[in-house]
Amino acid sequence: MSLIEITEVRKSFGTTEVLKGINLDVEAGEVIAIIGKSGSGKSTLLRCINGLETITDGSISVAGAQLLDDEVHLKALRLKVGMIFQQFNLFPHLTVGGNVMLSQTVVKKTPKTEAEATARKMLERVGLGHRFDAYPNELSGGQQQRVAIARALAMHPSALLCDEITSALDPELVAEVLAVVRELAAEGMTLLMVTHEMKFARDVCSRVVFMHHGRVHEVGVPEEVFTNPQTAELKQFLGVS
């Protein structure tokens, strides 16, 4: 059994079908890069995996539990699968520590002392243990994104979904965030990341999924996908011919 099993998943918005039968199994500890043009369905796929969107057809299971469309299951699912977005979405009126504690105390009902200990540990892990009492606007974009990663880690997820998490950052801040992701990958975290960082995908990912028009158009190890693309669409996307 794979950690995440995506079978014949379809998703429509009104009459527009944006996911057209996605099949993808993700093993525990795998690091998968999802690449593809804007509008190909990458974000929608991630949003379906953690239940932010309900699927129109097919099935998704995480750690053996099928994603069913009811609140109890969705809540359980979101505890298992963390998601990090392009925008960091930190609460500006809460400290860094407060941000990392919040979903633990609210969603998981973790006692405050325990939530604080976990928050300190996770902030340490992303290199921001010393900024526990700072406010988000006192941090750089790269630091804020690392806080968002710590916040997701504090829920002890089995997998992390990252949707273009470095796209909103100034170029000089991208590396520090990728370094954290690289470390998580080395520690065995299961990661699905939508990214434009091809070099990173090549270095760190075990597989690359190329999405095109709502389908997994090509999938393989980075070496294959980047040096020997099979389809005209992937060749065009990569700018090779």
Binding of residue 38 to ligand ADP (CB under 6 A)? yes
Residue 41 contacts which entry, ligand ADP, Mg ion, none (Cβ below 5-8 A, type-dependent) = ligand ADP
Residue 91 contacts which entry, ligand ADP, Mg ion, none (Cβ below 5-8 A, type-dependent) = none
Which of 8, 23, 39, 188 is in the footprint of ligand ADP by CB under 6 A?
Answer: 39
Which of 26, 31, 32, 41 is in the footprint of ligand ADP by CB under 6 A?
Answer: 41
Contacts with ligand ADP: how many residues (CB under 6 A)?
10
Residue 39 contacts which entry, Mg ion, ligand ADP, none (Cβ below 5-8 A, type-dependent) = ligand ADP
Residue 30 near residue 4 (C-beta atoms within 8 A): no
Q: How far is the CB of 201 from ligand ADP (least distance, A)?
A: 15
Residues 60, 62: Cα–Cα separation, whole Å: 7
Nearest to 193 by CA among 169, 175, 209: 209
Binding of residue 166 to ligand ADP (CB under 6 A)? no
Residues at the contact surface with Mg ion, assessed by CB under 5 A: 42-43
Please report the beta strands in 149-228, taking only residues with DSSP state E, as ranges in sequence order: 159-163, 190-194, 207-212, 215-220
Which of 5, 6, 22, 43 is in the footprint of ligand ADP by CB under 6 A?
Answer: 43
Residue 129 near residue 123 (C-beta atoms within 8 A): yes
Binding of residue 40 to ligand ADP (CB under 6 A)? yes
Burial of 234 (0-12, 13-18, 19+ CB in 10 A): buried
Q: Cβ closer to ligand ADP: 48 or 154?
A: 48
Handedness of CA 105, 109, 112, 113 (dihedral sign): negative
Q: Cβ closer to ligand ADP: 38 or 241?
A: 38
Residue 59 near residue 47 (C-beta atoms within 8 A): no
Residues 227, 238: Cα–Cα separation, whole Å: 10
Q: How far is the CB of 62 from ligand ADP (least distance, A)?
A: 19
Give the binding site for ligand ADP (CB under 6 A): 13, 18, 36, 38-44
